[in-house]
């Protein structure tokens, strides 16, 4: 009798504790910022790379600008041991993962790791399927702060179910961990992701080009403009604690300076996670100045957490607006063409309205100063019609400050 009572009590508490599992709140009130190994290094990761990247994050000033997470993507894995615990690859990570996490923490940074909801990762390493609770506990014991959770080799799994399971496993493990879903937008994660994760990929993989599709055979990766166009209709799903993720950045990975600036500006306008994907140890001055432009970062990190929207598109120039705190706005003119184009904007005659948040700059009655976020010298106001020449694949980006 006592035994039965005990069993019922255990089951009751198990059900109650599962029912109470939730995502950790308060971890990503603004879009996460950091670095991820995949875009530049793919499977060629090791502990020295991660340590040197953490050092570079500090010495370049990126840490002071808000970059926090050092995320190691696919292929860090060794084997599972006889009890099923996952270990880091011994040749590449001879000091073990815990020591590496400690090193990153000692620099005042946070550590992210990667796994997959299927039985293998996209790179063919052990996935977490059937081992979710055990892996979550391992990550927590290593001191991990961020998990990117991929979607290869998932066969007929339900995406919502699989991501819920890992969310619950992380919660159960007890260490607050940012949860980044990476199922490439396949099952509309924006519709069900908010209670599960802090960010979700909205598309397939990015490719380091401004305007291209890169064909891998049975899948494609996408240029900046292609990814930008795939964000249509998604802004209403993003906000503090739950972000649309148009993928990690390719700034510094081979595009022109104009293109990198445009890419970074648009990710800021989209309130996208700002996850650098280049070699931080060897950056050109141009790359560094783009990634550390505090004015553009402030647009991305604005506490309202409102994703920007496309207001207009004329002759290859699209005009984007993003509401900011204190009745300020960001505006970005993007020349999508390779050719130089003219941007013209007669503020007082434009009716810009954020229909979702019911906000409007009201240009017909309010005057704003325009602060150019890439060329600080250029100062003007919305009283004057804007006329500018925009080089191919470039942006003109302003913060609008209301005049009294």
Q: DSSP state, 120?
A: B
Nearer Cβ to ligand GLA (151/398)? 151
Q: Tell me the closest approach of the beta carbon of residue 109 to ligand GLA, in angstroms.
A: 20
Distance, in Å, from the CA atom of 111 to the CA atom of 108, rounded to the nearest integer, reads 10
Nearest to 366 by CA among 311, 404, 321, 398: 404
From 31, 34, 35, 38, residue interacting with ligand GLA (rule: CB under 6 A): 38
Q: Tell me the closest approach of the beta carbon of residue 184 to ligand GLA, in angstroms.
A: 6
From 78, 96, 123, 143, residue interacting with ligand GLA (rule: CB under 6 A): 123
Nearer Cβ to ligand GLA (13/219)? 219
Distance, in Å, from the CA atom of 191 to the CA atom of 200, rounded to the nearest integer, reads 11
Asked if 230 touches ligand GLA (CB under 6 A), the answer is no
Distance, in Å, from the CA atom of 354 to the CA atom of 186, rounded to the nearest integer, reads 27
Q: 97-106 and 47-59 are packed helices; what angle lies between their axes, rounded to 10 degrees? A: 10
Asked if 190 touches ligand GLA (CB under 6 A), the answer is no
In terms of DSSP H, where are the helices of 71-150? Answer: 97-106, 132-142
Residues that bind ligand GLA (rule: CB under 6 A) add up to a total of 9
For residue 44, indicate whether it is catalytic: no
Binding positions for ligand GLA, 197-216, rule CB under 6 A? 205
For residue 279, indicate whether it is catalytic: no
Binding positions for ligand GLA, 54-113, rule CB under 6 A? 73-74
Distance, in Å, from the CA atom of 289 to the CA atom of 291, rounded to the nearest integer, reads 6
Q: Tell me the closest approach of the beta carbon of residue 127 to ligand GLA, in angstroms.
A: 11
Q: What 3-state DSSP class applies to 208?
A: coil
Q: Tell me the closest approach of the beta carbon of residue 149 to ligand GLA, in angstroms.
A: 10
> Which listed residue (73, 116, 135, 150) is catalytic?
150
Q: How many CB atoms lie within 10 A of CB 336?
A: 20
Asked if 176 touches ligand GLA (CB under 6 A), the answer is no
Nearer Cβ to ligand GLA (121/208)? 121
Please return the burial class of 256, using the count of CB atoms within 10 Å of its CB with bins 0-12, 13-18 and 19+: middle
> Which listed residue (73, 135, 145, 205) is catalytic?
205
What are the residues facing 389 on neighbouring strands? 342
Q: Tell me the closest approach of the beta carbon of residue 214 to ligand GLA, in angstroms.
A: 12
Nearest to 254 by CA among 225, 230, 284: 284
Catalytic residues: 150, 205
Interface residues toward ligand GLA, by CB under 6 A: 38, 73-74, 121-123, 150, 182, 205
């Amino acid at each position: 009798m006592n035994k039965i009572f005990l069993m019922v009590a255990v089951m009751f508490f198990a059900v109650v504790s599962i029912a109470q599992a939730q995502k950790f709140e308060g971890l990503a009130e603004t879009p996460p910022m950091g670095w991820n190994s995949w875009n530049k290094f793919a499977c060629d990761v090791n502990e020295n790379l991660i340590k040197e990247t953490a050092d570079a994050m500090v010495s370049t000033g990126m840490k002071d600008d808000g970059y926090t997470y050092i995320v190691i993507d696919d292929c860090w894995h060794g084997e599972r041991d006889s009890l099923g615990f996952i270990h880091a690859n011994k040749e590449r990570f001879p000091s073990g993962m815990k020591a590496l996490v400690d090193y990153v923490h000692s620099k005042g940074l946070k550590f992210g790791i990667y796994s997959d909801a299927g039985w293998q990762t996209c790179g063919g390493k052990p996935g977490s399927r059937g081992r979710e609770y055990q892996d979550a506990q391992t990550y927590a014991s290593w001191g991990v702060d961020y998990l990117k959770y991929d979607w290869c080799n998932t066969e007929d799994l339900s995406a919502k179910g699989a991501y819920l399971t890992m969310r619950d496993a992380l919660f159960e493990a007890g260490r607050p961990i940012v949860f980044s879903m990476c199922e490439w937008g396949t099952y509309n994660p924006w519709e069900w992701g908010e209670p599960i994760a802090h960010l979700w990929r909205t598309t397939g993989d990015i490719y380091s080009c401004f305007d291209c599709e890169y064909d891998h055979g049975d899948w494609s990766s996408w240029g900046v403009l292609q990814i930008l166009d795939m964000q249509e209709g998604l802004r209403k799903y993003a906000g503090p604690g739950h972000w649309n993720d148009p993928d990690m950045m390719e700034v510094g990975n081979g595009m022109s300076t104009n293109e990198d600036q445009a890419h970074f500006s648009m990710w800021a306008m989209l309130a996208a996670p700002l996850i650098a994907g280049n070699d931080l140890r060897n950056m050109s001055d141009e790359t560094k100045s783009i990634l550390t432009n505090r004015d553009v970062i402030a647009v991305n990190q604005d506490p309202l957490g409102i994703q920007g929207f496309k207001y207009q598109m004329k002759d290859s120039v699209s005009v984007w607006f993003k509401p900011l705190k204190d009745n300020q706005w960001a505006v970005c003119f993007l020349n999508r063409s390779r050719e130089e184009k003219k941007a013209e904007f007669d503020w007082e005659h434009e009716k810009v309205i954020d229909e979702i948040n019911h906000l409007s700059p009201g240009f017909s009655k309010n005057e704003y100063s325009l602060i150019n976020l890439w060329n600080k010298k250029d100062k003007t106001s919305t009283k004057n019609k804007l006329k500018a020449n925009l080089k191919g694949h470039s942006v003109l980006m302003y913060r609008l400050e209301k005049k009294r």
